[in-house]
Chains A and B, each alone.
Chain A
Amino acid sequence: MSEVGKPLGKDLVGLEGLSADQLRMILDTAEPFKEISERRIKKVPVLRGKTIVNLFFEASTRTRISFEFAEKRLSADTVNISSTGSSVAKGETLVDTARNLEAMRIDMVVIRHGASGAARFLAERIPSNVINAGDGWHEHPTQGLLDLLTIRDRMGRIEGLRVCIVGDIKHSRVARSNIYGLRALGAEVAVCGPRTLLPPAPEELGCRVFSRVEEAIEWADVLNVLRLQLERMQAGYVPSLREYNRIWGVSTARLEAAPRDILVLHPGPMNRGVEIDSDVADGPHSVILNQVTNGVAVRMAVLYLLAGGQPERAEAAKEGGEA
């Protein structure tokens, strides 16, 4: 990693295009941040004086809170803006919002929006650092990163691991970020779910395809189980939630038939009894709570790596950068 300047650039819009070195750097940086959350005073002054806006156009409690904790533990000042609107109104609101943020000289923006491409749209228009907290179906990079960290912590590595993502891949930004991150670090990736919920050309994204969850469990070291949204049933992608659970649900019985000890991840919130059974979620295979802990650390690492750094002033600062 370069000693001066910005190792990740100005923004984190997605994991697509990040190199294995950059991904490893983020995960390595997240480790010491885990320790801070164990302290009595859970704060370091790294982002003191920085203003961060959490711009959430889609309701989300857990991701927003995770970011807020990360920001406050780095001593930043945070402002939450929630806004929901009709699909057409979303477009105009975004442009105007970008202009307002620029005018207010906000340092960093964390954005979640229902339209794929919204994070990049913003990043191209304002000088603030932009972090994508989920844009439409496109990417949710910090979720991808915390999944990688959780897997690495428990399995010791990513390279050569077999990871299968189970569920509605087509509409999932978590799936896409996972696919890009895992493949960059050398894992083998598969997807499993009803064909109606797979994206076009999964093989071109580099994934194997399993039609039934038993096949996936037979093959995988790690399962990342995605939430099946109620709207998908209503839109007719699957005939019923019960049928989904029967054919693709991750149950203890199925896991026990596995030839090895499988790790189970879930980005949350869970539909217990639909995509994942309660005893699996609460059982020994599950690392779901670790994901949550790692989430704050990963977000702290990302904020830290994006902040500061004006290389042109680095030489002068290097003099005073010693003891």
Chain B
Amino acid sequence: MSEKILLRGGRVVDPSQSLDRVHDVLIVDGSVARLADGIEAPEDARTVDCAGKVVCPGLIDVHVHLREPGGEHKETIATGAASAVAGGFTAVCAMPNTDPPIDDPAAVGFVVAAGRAAGLARVYPVGCISSGRAGERLALVGEMVDAGAVAITDDGSPVMNSGLMRMALEYARAFGIPVADHPEDLGLSDGGHMNEGIVSSRLGLGGKPNASEDIHIVRDLLLAELTGGHIHLQHVSTRFGVESIRQAKARGVHVTAEASPHHLVLTHEAVDGYRTEAKMNPPLRAQEDVDAVRAGLADGTLDTIATDHAPHHYDEKEAAFADAPNGIVGLETALGIVLTHVVGEGVIDLPTMIERMSCQPARAFGLPGGTLAIGGPADVTVFDPGARWVVDAGQFRSRSRNTPFGGWELTGRPTMTIVGGRIVWSG
């Protein structure tokens, strides 16, 4: 049975086709069939009135933690996929720091199957760089790619051994996948639980200096240059890091990079009072760093917005600051936060936002989507840029509630998510 959906009268913004106008979109059998004005609805079509809304290629989050296998009390692939579509995301890339880690084709296959069974957002597994995520030897990269992995990373952890990182960049070239890195020097971060600065000084907490992240960003850029490989730098948070990436791109290094919504909006002041819901890695930094990340997002140095959605159970975060785990959920607040505090504050315009949240992620990871071109998969996000709402973690579809944005008043929220031509969420 073919499902037909007509999205009528929305503002269609598709940077991949340089499109930004009020248009109708007809979806047939899971693909985008027509983009035009005044499309007549076929009899068996479901018509959705999108007047006043924005219709864009489905949002893609290349950095989420779905916790399955091993951490199902925090999130499962199914609940994570549900959280994704509730946030307007049609696809996510799942990080491999599960228990056991995703370091072989069987594990990759498990994630693929679980994502398919959930039938909501597309779930693309990312495999480990190193076997067991131990940072010593390369994992079964080629076999993982055959099984469905779209990239490799040891995220959760940095790759401390530069020799291994070089090898990964060289080896991965054969498969056309990016090597994603969580840039951090563990020696410098040792004993740190938040950004090193005046706030950590006052609170009496160990801090992680900017240099810890900067050193690994520079190292990764140099190795990418040396090997010709594709390095993808995750959750960039420092001003020197942004500047280094900018210069490397100018030199022609194949690098893509992420900015997270929280690093675009919050500084280390948000931690004041020992708020573990503002504790993550890399930590929230100083205002100058936030300003640099925003500028980097605007000029394209940072290509994608990725949430680093990191669910943790309430009990674990309800601890002394030093003992609480790092991470915040982000799938269900990302669009609202970015619309209100990034687009809404003039850092980027709406089409650029969609470029950063859909087109670029697809391009960086070689994923289908990121476009509403005719014949392409109908992964579509519809959102209301003017809708006012208050973040209530109790309403999240995610299993976890650890967010620093609880109670924030935001303007802009998703209203419908369509994956492969099926409406998987509407709100």
Contacts and interface: CB of A to CB of B under 8 A. Distances in A.
B324 A205 contact: no
Contacts of A204: 198, 201
B186 to A, nearest CB: 16
A116 B322 contact: yes
A137 B209 CA distance: 18
Interface in B102-120: none
A183 interface: no
Contact of B319 (A92, A116, A137, A138): A92
Interface string A182-210: 00000000000000000111101100000
A109 to B, nearest CB: 15
Interface in B184-233: 196-198, 200-205, 207, 209
A87 B196 CA distance: 21
Interface string A112-134: 01011110110000000000000
Contacts of B1: none
B267 to A, nearest CB: 14
B321 interface: yes
Given A87-B322, A120-B273, 20 more contacts: A90-B320, A91-B320, A91-B324, A95-B319, A115-B321, A116-B204, A116-B205, A116-B274, A117-B274, A117-B320, A118-B320, A138-B204, A138-B205, A199-B201, A200-B196, A200-B197, A200-B201, A200-B207, A200-B209, A201-B201
A299 interface: no
A91 to B, nearest CB: 3
B274 A201 contact: no
A94 B321 CA distance: 12
A118 B207 CA distance: 17
Contacts of A266: none
Contacts of B318: 95
B323 interface: yes
A139 B318 CA distance: 21
A124 to B, nearest CB: 9
Contact of A116 (B196, B197, B321): B321
24 contacts: A16-B202, A87-B323, A91-B320, A91-B324, A94-B319, A113-B320, A115-B320, A116-B204, A116-B274, A116-B321, A117-B203, A117-B204, A120-B273, A137-B205, A138-B203, A138-B205, A176-B202, A199-B201, A200-B201, A200-B209, A201-B198, A204-B198, A205-B201, A205-B202
Contacts of B209: 200
Interface residues of B, number: 21
Interface in B317-341: 318-324
A118 B69 CA distance: 33
Contacts of A137: 204-205
Contacts of A199: 200-201
B279 to A, nearest CB: 11
Contacts of A173: 204
B204 A88 contact: no
Interface in A17-54: none
Contacts, number: 73
Question: Which are the 7 A-B pairs with shortest beta-carbon distances?
Answer: A91-B319, A91-B323, A138-B204, A115-B320, A137-B204, A117-B274, A116-B204
A308 interface: no
B196 A136 contact: no
Given A200-B196, A201-B197, A204-B198, A121 B204 contact: no
Contacts of B197: 200-201
Interface string B286-328: 0000000000000000000000000000010011111110000
A200 B200 contact: yes
Contacts of B200: 199-200
Q: Which of A88, A116, A201 has the most CB of B within 10 A?
A: A116
Contacts of A205: 198, 201-202
A138 B320 CA distance: 12
Interface string A50-82: 000000000000000000000000000000000
Given A95-B318, A120-B273, A139 B323 contact: no
A95 B204 CA distance: 20
B203 to A, nearest CB: 6
B108 to A, nearest CB: 31
Contacts of B205: 116-117, 136-138
A85 B203 CA distance: 22
A136 B323 contact: no
A202 B201 CA distance: 8
Interface in B274-292: 274
Interface in B258-278: 273-274
Contacts of A116: 203-205, 274, 320-322
Contacts of B196: 200
B289 to A, nearest CB: 15
Contacts of A138: 203-205
Interface in A89-121: 90-92, 94-95, 113, 115-118, 120-121
A88 B324 CA distance: 9
A143 to B, nearest CB: 14
Contacts of A118: 320
Contacts of A202: 201
A117 B275 CA distance: 10
Nearest to A120: B274
Contacts of B324: 91
B204 A176 contact: yes
Contact of B320 (A16, A121, A176, A200): A121
Contact of A115 (B201, B273, B322): B322
A40 B273 CA distance: 44
B286 to A, nearest CB: 10
Given A120-B274, A200-B198, A90 B323 contact: yes
A176 B198 CA distance: 12
A136 B204 contact: yes
Contact of A121 (B202, B203, B274): B274
Nearest to A205: B201
B274 to A, nearest CB: 3
B320 A139 contact: no
Contacts of B322: 87, 115-117, 136
A176 B320 CA distance: 19
A199 B199 CA distance: 11
A88 B320 contact: no
Contacts of B201: 199-202, 204-205
Contacts of A120: 273-274
